Structures are given as C-alpha cells and as structure tokens.
C-alpha cells in the first residue's frame, strides 16, 4: 500500500527510503503517526534528507507534534538531527549514541576523498552534500526498553545492540511493523566493522529478538522494505554473514578479506 506521502506501510507507519549517502549505499528513515504525536525514525545523512523526512512526516497529520528517535550513532542515520533540533523537536537516542565535532569533520573529509574525479575533489564537492548540516546529538536519552504513547498508538523502543552498542529498533505492534535500523539490512552486506566477534554474537541475539516479534513488515536500515515471507529471508541473510564472520574472526569487508 503506497500513497503520495512517502511509502505507506500500514494505517500509521510510513517509510522514507533510498535517501542518499555513500555509493552504492542509500539509507532509510520513516515515521509513525499517532493521534497527537508523529515519531520520526532516523533523520538521514544530512540536512537535505532531514528536510525531506520532515516534510513527509508533517504532511500526513499537520497538527501533530513531532518527536525523533535515532536508531544508532552512525552519521547516515543522525546527520539530519540538527535540522530537527533547530525547530525545537526533541531527538531521543541511546545513552551511548554520542559523536564529536571532530568525528563529523572526519566524515565529511572522507566523503570528499572518496570522490572519483580529481577536479570534483579539488572543488570540495562533499560540501554540497553536507550543505546546512551540523552535528547534533540526541538531547533525550534512552538506556532501556521504552514505550512511547503517540495518542491512540503505542510504540516500543527496543534495545537491539550488535551493529553498535547504541542500536535501537522501533516496534509498532498494532501494525506489525518494525524499523530495525542497521540490525537488519536488505540486499547489502551488513557493516560488521564497528565491532568484532563478541559484538556479532550480541547482534545475533538482537536478530532473534526481532524475529520473536513476528513482524509482517521490516524497514531495514538500508535496502528495500521487507514484507511477509521476505522478512525471514532478510533475517537469515544477515545471520549467515554474522555466523561466517564469527567463525573466521573477521568481517567480509575487512582488509583481511581481500
């Protein structure tokens, strides 16, 4: 079920997919519309993505207050936080989801260094991607499973660490929809390089926790939305990569894998 306000997944849940980040990766966001509060799930990698998400989320129920939840601390998910904070909107996130200005500057420099064309690198064209973007960490903290009452809709914020210690998932039980951040991704290799075998074992537990919800729809951190039978396929694919990486002791994208 789709309409012209993002991708409508259910009565209350929407996905905003394919937001730009770093080739070939795109990143997903979304929102859940209650009767009085709309919860935005992730803010994209920059202010331009956040503007898009904000526009969609505001259009569905304009009278609602907005609230943001970050599913993790990587900049592709939190780069748009500043856009929302400038408008007085609270951004919730894990206690460990804190980044520094130096880390954000390094991210921007890495983007520019990755531009294939030398003339474009010399122009510093990564500045266009990060136009209007500045680092803002969450201003409201979560350190345990939490429930949000959005008005006629209860949303559960679940700790699902592994990809990072700060990963959260957003479960909307009445709609059977879960926004997993990078705990699950679809058609991409999961990024295991933020941790090692111990973290990957924790990640496996988090996947099992999501499966136990028996969701009908998964909005992964990256890649297409998964529905019905696709949900298990996505979970099994990430689980397989984790188990293989635990067995050999390094991720499929590390230098050792080359």
Q: Where are the domains of the chain?
A: 7-99+135-257
Q: Are 45 and 99 within 8 A, CB to CB?
A: no
**CA separation for the pair 50, 203 (Å, rounded):** 28
pLDDT at residue 2, rounded to an integer: 43
Which CATH code, of 3.40.50.170, 3.40.50.10470, 3.60.15.10, 3.40.640.10, is assigned to 7-99+135-257?
A: 3.60.15.10
DSSP 56-116: HHHHHSTTSEEEEE-S-SSHHHHTTHHHHHTTT--EEEETT----HHHHHHHHHHHHHT-S
> Which residues of the chain are modeled with pLDDT < 50?
1-2
Q: Output the pTM of the full model.
A: 0.95
């Amino acid at each position: 079920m789709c309409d012209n306000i993002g991708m409508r997944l259910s009565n209350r849940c929407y996905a905003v997919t394919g937001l730009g980040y770093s080739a070939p990766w795109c990143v997903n966001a979304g929102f859940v519309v209650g009767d009085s509060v709309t919860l935005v799930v992730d803010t994209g990698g920059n202010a331009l993505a956040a503007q898009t998400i904000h526009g969609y989320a505001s259009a569905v129920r304009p009278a609602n207050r907005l609230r943001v939840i970050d599913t993790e601390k990587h900049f592709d998910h939190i780069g748009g936080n500043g856009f929302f904070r400038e408008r007085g909107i609270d951004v919730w996130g894990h206690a460990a989801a804190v980044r520094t200005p130096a880390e954000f500057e390094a991210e921007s420099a890495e983007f520019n260094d990755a531009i294939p064309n030398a003339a474009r690198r010399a122009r510093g064209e990564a500045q266009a991607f990060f136009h209007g973007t500045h680092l803002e960490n969450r201003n409201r903290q979560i350190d345990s499973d939490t429930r949000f009452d959005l008005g006629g809709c209860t949303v559960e914020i679940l700790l699902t660490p592994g990809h990072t210690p700060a990963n959260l998932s957003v479960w909307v039980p009445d709609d059977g929809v879960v926004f997993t951040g990078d705990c699950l991704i679809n058609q991409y290799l999961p990024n295991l390089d933020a941790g090692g075998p111990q973290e990957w074992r924790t990640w496996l537990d988090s996947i099992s926790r999501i499966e136990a919800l028996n969701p009908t729809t998964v909005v992964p951190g990256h890649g297409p939305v998964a529905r019905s039978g696709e949900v298990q396929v996505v979970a099994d694919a990430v689980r397989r990569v984790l188990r293989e990486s635990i067995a050999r002791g390094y991720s499929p994208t590390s230098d050792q894998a080359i």
